[in-house]
Amino acid sequence: MALITLLIITFLLFLLVRIMPGNPFPAERMSAAAIAKKRAEMGLDNPMLVQFWNYIKNLIASGSFGNGSALYNGAPISSVLPVAMSNSFRIGGISICFGVIVGLILGIAAALNRGKFWDVFCTVLSIVGVCVPSYVFMIFLQYFFSYKIPAFPFYFDSARFLHSAIMPALSLSLFSMSTVARFTRNEMVEVMDSDYVLLASSKGMYGTKLVTKHILRNALIPIVTVIAPLIVDLLTGALVVEKIYGINGIGKLMVDSITGEGVDYNYVLALGILYSTLYIGIMLVLDIAYGLLDPRIRVAGNKEG
């Protein structure tokens, strides 16, 4: 199923990219004849289906996304993409871990102290976190912690990765942290009001065991659903933060491939496919995780099988 979905997505992307306005081969100094020759070299004058077939064939046979057309003057995408992915994934990974862990702690703290100071504090914090875009927070951090107090580099520097990844990772984690905190709190409050928790506590169960085994576990299912797309968003790069902080990640690459001197079909496609693959992959993992977390889903699945 996942593969068929991916194929359909690739085809739609392929069509959309070619319909999109903008020149795949910008050359102000070339005559119309030379441009036509170049387009023919790139196979752009074949019928759409033939182009698609060639693209898929090339992708499967050699695992290659082809060469760029407008961006980096035709350098093979395979030499550009891995570095960009590694930058984005590492920063995204740090921010997702940070966001989820801190978010969970905040959410649990809020739910257990319902109506008290911690609850209000976490609620306000998560509203601010959801409302303030990550790049605003990024500019804020950049201004205070590398301009006013020069503790961190002003721009991303791959030679000092951890040192320069802290600010972007922190600003990117704000949204996921708030979302996770909010959902954790609400779900936990709901579960805590349910009959089985009442039963468990009336049977004398209390403290950490009640929270982790009965409340948190049941509250996690909706939370996991929220986290999954957040992970993809973060891994595939927050394009504005990447542009502000000069991180050469895939978000920035995507923007450059569309708004650069020309529209680079192959880059847009490669990044689109990458994004879809990640999304579908994460959703697949999510389905499996549901089963592990919720005995009801597991039991229902077994019955059918």
Nearer to another protein, 55 or 72 (CB): 72
Q: Rounded to whole angstroms, what are the CA distances from 159 to 33, 86, 109, 239, 293?
A: 45, 13, 38, 21, 41
CB-nearer residue toward another protein: 167 or 258:
258
Q: Which two tokens stand for residue 258?
A: 């569309």
Is the Cβ–Cβ distance between 88 and 235 less than 8 Å? yes
Tokens 């992307």: give the residue: 13
**90 burial class (0-12, 13-18, 19+ CB within 10 angstroms)?**
middle
Would you say 83 or 280 has its CB closer to another protein? 83
Q: How far is the CB of 206 from another protein (least distance, A)?
A: 22
| 40/148 Cα distance (integer angstroms) | 54
Nearest distance from C-beta of residue 13 to another protein, angstroms = 19
CB of 149 to another protein, least distance (A): 11
Of 38 and 217, which CB lies nearer to another protein in the complex structure? 38
Tokens of 180: 């996770």
Query: Nearer to another protein by C-beta: 88 or 173?
Result: 88
Nearest to 223 by CA among 196, 199, 190: 190
Q: Which is nearer to another protein, 31 or 202 (CB)?
A: 31
Nearest to 237 by CA among 275, 286, 273: 275
Distance of closest approach, residue 58 Cβ to another protein, in angstroms: 15
Q: Please report where in the chains the tokens 């948190």 appear, as a residue.
A: 216
Q: How far is the CB of 16 from another protein (least distance, A)?
A: 15
Which residues, including other chains, have CB under 8 Å from residue 201's CB and lie 6 or more apart?
210
CB 27 to another protein: min, Å = 5
- DSSP code string of 20-54: SSS-SS--TTS-HHHHHHHHHHTTTTS-HHHHHHH
Give the angle 68-74-77 at the CA atoms, nearest 5°.
Answer: 45
Which residues contribute to the site for another protein (CB under 8 A)? Answer: 21-23, 26-32, 34-35, 37-38, 41, 67, 70-76, 79-80, 83-84, 87, 114-115, 119-120, 123-124, 127, 131, 142-143, 146-147, 150, 153-155, 158, 243-244, 246, 248, 253, 256, 258-263
Residue type at 184 in one-letter notation: T
Minimum distance from residue 12 beta carbon to another protein (Å):
21
Residue 77: enclosing H or E segment and its boundaries?
helix 77-112
CB of 200 to another protein, least distance (A): 23
Nearer to another protein, 85 or 227 (CB): 85
| Between 188 and 289, CB nearer to another protein | 188
> What are the residues facing 234 on neighbouring strands?
none
Query: CA-to-CA distance for 83 and 89, rounded, in angstroms?
Result: 10
